[in-house]
Amino acid sequence: MSTPKVIVVGAGPGGLTAAMLLARRGCAVTVYEKNNQVGGRNQALRLGDYKFDTGPTFLMLKQVLDEVFEEAGRPVTDYLTFYKLEPMYRLQYDDLTLDISSNWEVMEQTVRKHFPGQEAGLRRYYAAERRRFDKMYSCLQRPYSRLRDYASPQILRAYPYLSIGQSLMDVLCSYFSIEKLALAFTFQAKYLGMSPWVCPGAFAIISFIEHAFGMYHVRGGLSEISEAMARVAQEHGATIHLNTTVKQVLVDHGRAVGVELENGERVTADDVVINADFGYAVTHLFAPGVLKRYTPAAMARKKYSCSIFMLYLGVKRTYPLAHHTIVFAKDYHASVRDVFQGHGISSDVSFYVRNADVTDPTLAPDGHSALYVLVPASNLIGNSIDWEGEKLALRARILQQVMARLDLPDLEQNIVAEHIITPLDWQNNYHVYGGAVFNLAHSLDQMLYLRPHNQFEEVRNCYLVGGGTHPGSGLPTIYESGRIAANLLCRSHGIQFESRNVHS
């Protein structure tokens, strides 16, 4: 049997997961990455002596990461240092602050103190969402290439737990009669770029995963995960080309046969794995007429996640903030509605601040802070917001609210390094379709078989990884997409392998 030659387009976490697994299993793997470092939206952002994660900062369901490294023949702890966060994060309302713990006894004490009488609802939540997780998670680990995949035993057992017709907020309000407490278990819809009043109720398992398995930080930032994956892939013989843009996936009679680079070079391969943003890939990486289902017109009709407005702040002092702090707008429902109705950013913003320096001293000089500020924002689809013209005014308004809500009156005067990313920047500089950083919306009509398939249904020998394909956004599910694609590709070539994910 000849060695399959595989090209991976993009060195994000999904592409790197696939690359290190495929290289470990004997494939000849070449990765092309347009940036000067690996990671994609998971890459590091440096401002002088300050280091930030560009995108994801929450590491949950760490065992998936452990498993893919194990399958690549390497213990993850040989490459990365982990800190389990306790409490996991702080939630701040207009009149209340909650520290959220993965210790269930501590969490019950917190609920008893601030929401007396709701403890029984917390216990129901733990029990019911444990059952949902046990029934559903294996469904997210398998591919859905055929309609008959819906008849698998795992799916049939999971159907009663899908909460079809209920939103995430509906499900949580069935446990808790106080909205603020329900919101503490629904803000995770932001990981999917969705409103909790629209997000399918089945995604209540996300908050349960946090509470059941904990939240982690990686020394040096979560971008170090991608760096470690790249090292493992290279140790197994993979070649990674940075500063190398793929212009087009080459297709011959419906089969991917390689790529054309921006410099005009054509490189052949037996298989191509695409880790580019899905909307960007199908509208830019294929010759006109190749794709019939995912045409530009069809993509314009899809549902998309929200975007985010980012501030990365190097600050010449420290603050007594938690590692993760989520601040709810005073009228949270109205704030969310503004974002998803295309109004840009609400005047009464919700925001998230990471102050990882309290855990990890490597991110800023001694006595300084690397503050990461995220504000949900409208994507670019269907509106005409002038993000470039408005960004400085938005920056000023967001900073004022951060200073006021977190009691940081001198923050602005202590900023010595700063970077802003707007929804327009996500589209133009990071090749994110419509600036929708969480990809296609995770509505029921865009999930499982109805989401772009890991074995791309339009082109043979072409595989998809990342948040735009199955299972969806979020680091653990993106790692799963890489593992599913690697398993499918290996099976197509008759390559034997061992995988903790037996479903794909």
Q: What's the per-residue H, E or C state across 443-490? A: CHHHCHHHCCCCECCCCECEEECCCCCCCCCCHHHHHHHHHHHHHHHH
**Of residues 471, 466, 434, the one with CA closest to residue 449:** 471
pLDDT at position 204, please?
94
How many angstroms separate the CA atoms of 251 and 257, rounded?
6
pLDDT at position 32, please?
98
Element (H, E) at 157: helix 153-158
pLDDT at position 501, please?
66
pTM of the model as a whole: 0.96
How confident is the prediction along the chain (504 residues), in pLDDT tens digits per residue? 689 999 999 999 999 999 999 999 999 999 999 999 999 999 999 999 999 999 999 999 999 999 999 999 999 999 999 999 999 999 999 999 999 999 999 999 999 999 999 999 999 999 999 999 999 888 888 898 888 877 778 788 878 888 889 999 999 999 999 999 999 999 888 778 899 999 999 999 999 999 999 999 999 999 999 999 999 999 999 999 999 999 999 999 999 999 999 999 999 999 999 999 999 999 999 999 999 999 999 999 999 999 999 999 999 999 999 999 999 999 999 999 999 988 889 889 999 999 999 999 999 999 999 999 999 999 999 888 999 999 999 999 999 999 999 999 999 999 999 999 999 999 999 999 999 999 999 998 999 999 999 999 999 999 999 999 999 999 999 999 999 999 999 999 999 998 876 555
Tokens of 115: 């929401």
Contact partners, residue 392, CB within 8 Å, separation at least 6? none
State the span(s) of the chain assigned CATH 3.50.50.60: 5-45+54-82+220-299+443-492
Tokens of 355: 């102050």
Side chain identity at 38, as an amino acid letter? V
Domain 5-45+54-82+220-299+443-492 sits in CATH at 3.50.50.60
What is the DSSP secondary structure assignment for residue 336, as one 8-state letter? H
List the Cα angle 291/296/300 in 5-degree steps: 135
Longest dimension (CA), the chain: 67
Characterise 263 by phi-psi region: left (phi > 0), alpha (psi -120 to 50), beta (else): alpha
Q: Give yes or no for a contact between 217 and 82, defined as CB atoms under 8 angstroms apart.
A: yes
pLDDT at position 410, please?
97
**Of residues 377, 381, 391, the one with CA closest to residue 339:** 377
Q: Give yes or no for a contact between 59 and 226, defined as CB atoms under 8 angstroms apart.
A: no
How many angstroms separate the CA atoms of 108 and 345, rounded?
34
**CB neighbourhood size of 306 (10 A):** 24
The distance from CA 406 to its chain's CA centroid, rounded to whole angstroms, is 26
Which residues make beta-bridge pairs with 326? 91, 352
**CB neighbourhood size of 417 (10 A):** 18
Which residues make beta-bridge pairs with 185? none
Which residues make beta-bridge pairs with 460? 255
- Cα four-point dihedral sign 485, 9, 472, 254: negative
pLDDT at position 152, please?
79
**Of residues 347, 434, 332, the one with CA closest to residue 393:** 347
How many angstroms separate the CA atoms of 430 and 12, rounded?
12
Q: What is the layout of strands, in order, in the sheet containing 82-84? A: 59-60, 215-218, 82-84
